[in-house]
Chain A
Amino acid sequence: DAKTTQPTSMDCAEGRAANLPCNHSTISGNEYVYWYRQIHSQGPQYIIHGLKNNETNEMASLIITEDRKSSTLILPHATLRDTAVYYCIGSGAGNMLTFGGGTRLMVKP
Chain B
Amino acid sequence: ETGVTQSPTHLIKTRGQQVTLRCSSQSGHNTVSWYQQALGQGPQFIFQYYREEENGRGNFPPRFSGLQFPNYSSELNVNALELDDSALYLCASSTLDRAYNEQFFGPGTRLTVL
- Which residues does A use to contact B, with CB under 8 Å? 30, 32, 34, 41-46, 49, 51, 85, 87, 93-102
Contact = CB atoms under 8 A, between A and B. Distances in A.
B93 to A, nearest CB: 11
A58 B98 CA distance: 22
Given A94-B48, A96-B33, 7 more contacts: A43-B4, A43-B92, A85-B42, A93-B99, A96-B48, A99-B35, A101-B41
A95 B100 contact: yes
Interface residues of B, number: 27
A62 B20 CA distance: 38
15 contacts: A32-B99, A34-B102, A41-B88, A42-B107, A46-B102, A46-B103, A93-B96, A93-B100, A94-B48, A95-B33, A95-B103, A98-B45, A99-B35, A99-B43, A102-B42
Contacts of B71: none
B105 A44 contact: yes
Contacts of A94: 48, 55-56, 96
Nearest to A50: B100
- Scoring B44, B58, B90, B100 by chain A CB atoms within 10 A of each residue's CB, the highest score goes to B100
Top 5 closest pairs, chain A to chain B, by CB = A99-B42, A43-B105, A46-B102, A32-B100, A99-B43
Contact of B43 (A41, A44, A46, A93): A44
Contacts of B107: 42-43
Contact of A95 (B41, B42, B94, B108): B94
